[in-house]
Amino acid sequence: MSEHLLEVRDLKQHFPISTGWFQKTPLKAVDGVSFTIDKGETLGLVGESGCGKTTVGRTILHLYKPTAGEVIYNGTQITPANIGKFRRDMQIVFQDPYSSLNPRMTVSDIIGEPLDVHKLYSSKKERDEKIAHLLNLVGLNSDHARRYAHEFSGGQRQRIGIARALAVEPKFIVCDEPVSALDVSIQAQIINTFEDLQKKLGIAYLFIAHDLLVVQHISHRIAVMYLGRIVEIGESSEIIANPMHPYTQSLISAIPIPDPDTARVKKRIPLEGDVPSPLKMPSGCPFRPRCRYATDICAKECPSLKEAAPGHQIACHNPHF
């Protein structure tokens, strides 16, 4: 089973939260997540805010030390001790292009820093060439290298962030809501850039976003998260056409479709109430209090991911097809 580029097994990330004097309660941000990503594949990770999507991305990169579980990259288990060796292969692009670039550094410093850290050049000239190449790769001009981040628009800044991630020639990039801060017309530019880079360089993405229209467009497979767990995972067209988990069904029916005729006839499956606090998780299935199909067993046992159709797994006691 070494063909997967990245394998995540039962990953857990609990943050201790003080809930009173000398009292700590674990906040289970990620609670047993498993999936695989192949070379050159995009896995979309969707879910509402607070469901732990970002934490999954960061824990894979060991930006947080995982509470439990394994991250296996190319057959080797990643530990805090050896993560340094893998930093070159795994990068991240952040959501906010305004706060993820240092305002005191020029673009060539920002993109050059990973090159410096990993000593990826032999002469100053080579460094400059590499930076110019990276800028061209993401659709920026090489003259931009001497400017500062504030001189660019949001879309251009996100391109700088992507160029920085690409500097070390990674095999895998965590894209943490890379387009949600951008305008629609710019969003499309950046999505195309991601797709082109994947075709050219064979990079695998974990694409985290809450916008399902964007995720289904860019991803080969989609994983849906709810309160720290994956509730459904499968081929992206399959998830959109045949969602089986009641949560995914509601989520997909809630997408606002930019088409008035469809909007008029569309039936929504409304979800009552709000997401429960992860500090006070309901017993059994975390989705139970909002679920239309909940039965007695849902309160007792938390369902695990089971294969419902080839390549399509769901975690539900009463799946509805």
Partner 1 sequence: MSQPLLQVKDLCTSFDVESGEVRAVNGISFNLDKGKVLGIVGESGSGKSVTAYSIMRILVEPGRIKSGQILFNGEDIVKYSKLQMRQFRGKRVSIIFQDPMTSLNPTYTIGNQLREAILLHTDRTKEQANARALEMLQLVGVNDPQKRLNQYPHELSGGMRQRVMIAMALACEPDILIADEPTTALDVTIQAQILELMKDLQKKLGMAIIMITHDLGVIADMCDEIIVMYAGRICERGTADEIFYNPCHEYTKGLLRSIPKLDSKNERLIPIEGSPVDLTCMPAGCAFAARCDKAMKICLKQLPQEYWINDEHLASCWMNVKKVYDEAAKGGEA
- x-or-dash string of contact with partner 1, 229-258, rule CB under 8 A: -------xx--xx--------xx-xxxxxx
From 16-24, 60-68, 185-193, 311-319, give the range in contact with partner 1 by CB under 8 A. 185-193
Phi, psi dihedrals of residue 320, rounded to the nearest 5°: -115, 125
What strands lie across the sheet with 172-176, from one edge to the other? 90-93, 172-176, 204-208, 42-46, 221-226, 229-235, 312-314, 306-309
Residue 55 contacts residue 49 (beta carbons within 8 Å): no
In Å, the largest CA–CA distance within the chain is: 68
Q: Residue 259 or residue 296: which is nearer to partner 1 going by CB?
A: 259
Indicate whether 263 belongs to the interface with partner 1 (CB under 8 A): yes
Among 60, 208, 212, 244, interactor with partner 1 by CB under 8 A = 212
The answer to whether 270 contacts partner 1 (rule: CB under 8 A) is yes
Tell me the C-alpha distance between 168 and 91, whole Å.
8
Binding region for partner 1 (CB under 8 A) out of 9-17, 63-71, 110-118, 184-192: 184-192
Q: Residues in contact with partner 1, total (CB under 8 A)?
A: 44
Least CB distance to partner 1 at residue 107 (A) = 16
Stretch of 2-10, 68-76, 121-129, 262-270 contacting partner 1, by CB under 8 A: 262-270
Assess contact for 172 and 37: CB atoms under 8 A: yes
Q: Is 49 in the site for partner 1 (CB under 8 A)?
A: yes
Contact status: 103 vs partner 1 (CB under 8 A) = no
Chain centroid, CA 289 distance in Å = 26
Q: Is 20 in the site for partner 1 (CB under 8 A)?
A: no
Nearer to partner 1, 65 or 266 (CB): 266
Q: Is 188 in the site for partner 1 (CB under 8 A)?
A: yes
Which residue from 20, 80, 103, 273 is in contact with partner 1, where contact means CB under 8 A? 273
The yes or no reply on residue 281 touching partner 1 (CB under 8 A) is no
Minimum CB separation of residue 261 from partner 1 in Å reads 8
C-alpha angle 35/37/43, rounded to 5°?
85
Q: How far is the CB of 99 from partner 1 (least distance, A)?
A: 17
Could you tell me which stretch among 21-29, 165-173, 187-195, 299-307 binds partner 1 (CB under 8 A)? Answer: 187-195
Binding site for partner 1 (CB under 8 A): 48-49, 153, 155-156, 183-189, 191-192, 195, 210, 212-214, 216-217, 236-237, 240-241, 250-251, 253-263, 268, 270-271, 273-275
